[in-house]
Amino acid sequence: MIRVFGQLKKKKKKKLSFFLGNMERNTAFPLFAGNHSHINTTCSRDNLLKTVVFPVLYSFLFLVGMSLNGLAVWIFLRIPSQSHFIIYLKNIVVADVIMTFTFPFKVLSDSNMASLGLRIFVCRVSSVLFYLTMYISILFFGLISIDRCRKTLNPFKGTNATRLKYRKLLSGAIWTFLVILCLPNVMLTSKPPTSPYFQCSKLKTEAGLKWHEIVNHVCQVIFWGNLLTVIVCYTLITKELYRSYSRTNQGTTKKPRQSKRKINANVFLVLGVFFVCFVPFHFARVPYTISQTRGDRFDCKLKLFFFQLKESTLFLSSLNSLLDPLIYFFLCKSFRTTLFNTLHQLPCTCSWLIERGSDTDTGSSPQGNSSACT
């Protein structure tokens, strides 16, 4: 009887271990034994949202983003870097193009159509490039906010070759710093996967995990520092525009008031894109990170919720590559003029669009045709 009982007990353990193994493969994150003693099959990340909805959205984003950013690159190649603003915009265009190229890899990986080697490539390279370009864009949004603030408070202060040289050196330093910061994430993601179902963190060495944590802290400092910069700059811009509007409102003519309203709307476009694209993700990232690092305090459903919240706000960050061309068009007069000339259209046919933009950059169209529409 004792021998029979022992054999039955071993069979039950084998069945339980087989069941747990299957459940671990069906989930994209380890399940922790908290207050729930059973394993819920609804906690799998491979649901409709991840495998269908987001791949469709990112596919659309890739097609439209490549079209708009390809056109933006073509136009900016024709515009000389004659202002700080244009230099910053050119750097954002490059970051947006690189980010857009990562979307197809994310589509294949999330829809479970990628091979094992491609999924490893996504973990090692594609995801790193995505986050690299995101924080480059965040840094240049901060610099654009400073530049817009300077132009609003000191509208008659020009620029010179020395200042332009310093801005180009600053741009190069930003790219160099972030590439050096992110490169170890590529090199230290070198462990072979132990199963077809793996997280990217499982491919990192011990040093890679520590470096990844350091990079996360640095990126948080970059975001919150630039968020503070944007808030301070646009607070000053709002005060100055309000004073200017009040002074103009005391005049007798209506035309200056109408022009001031248009400038208000365009200047705050940068603020709107920054808050729509970057703020939600970084607020959602805090509880998601806590749920991953202190998983024993969260059940699997709550962890799944934070994962879906993070992925949803990450899509908003990706939307930045689609919204940036609006900034180029409405805030950069050189961009608009060159666009119309490149498309062989008379600027007069689009005068309502040209008039909506404020003359916020000192660069001129290489064709010298900016005053053709009267």
Over residues 94-141, the pLDDT tens digits come to 999 999 999 999 999 999 888 889 999 999 999 999 999 999 999 999
Mean pLDDT on 331-343: 86
Q: Nearest-CA neighbor of 146 among 311, 5, 271?
A: 271
**Ordered DSSP codes for 73-94:** HHHHTTS---SHHHHHHHHHHH
How many CA atoms lie within 13 Å of 367's alpha carbon, on the beta-carbon side?
19
pLDDT of residue 66: 95
CA 137 – CA 324 distance, rounded (Å): 10
CA distance 208 to 200: 11
Give the C-alpha distances (Å, rounded to integers) separating 153 from 85, 147, 220, 235, 360. 15, 10, 29, 12, 13
Of 171 and 20, the one with more pLDDT: 171
Residue whose entry in the numeric block shows the structure tokens 């607070």 = 235
What pLDDT does 265 receive? 62
As a whole number, the mean pLDDT across the chain is 79
Q: Could you identify the residue written with the tokens 């459940």?
A: 23
| Per-residue model confidence as pLDDT tens digits over 28-64 | 433 233 333 333 445 677 788 888 999 999 999 999 9
34-66: burial string, b at 16+ Cβ within 10 Å, e else:
eeeeeeeeebbbeeeebeeebbebbeebbeebb
Give tens-digit pLDDT for 208-224: 888 988 998 999 999 99
Q: How many CA atoms lie within 13 A of 303 on its CB side?
A: 25
**CA pair distance 111, 108, nearest whole angstrom:** 5
Segment among 31-40, 116-125, 161-170, 309-318 with least mean pLDDT? 31-40
Handedness of CA 62, 68, 73, 74 (dihedral sign): positive
High-pLDDT (> 70) share of the chain, %: 74
- pLDDT score for 140: 97
Return the CATH fold of 44-248+256-277+319-356: Rhopdopsin 7-helix transmembrane proteins (1.20.1070)
How does pLDDT run across 251-290, given as a tens digit for each residue? Answer: 645 555 444 444 456 778 899 999 999 999 999 988 887 7
**What average pLDDT score do residues 186-199 get?**
84
Q: How many helices (H) and strands (E) does the chain have?
A: 15, 0
pLDDT value, residue 155: 78
The model's pLDDT over 234-253, given as tens digits with 9 standing for 90+, comes to 999 989 888 877 777 666 45
The answer to whether 62 and 103 are in contact (CB under 8 A) is yes
* pLDDT score at 42: 56
Amino acid identity for residue 248 in this structure: T
Asked whether residue 156 carries a pLDDT value surpassing 50, the answer given is yes
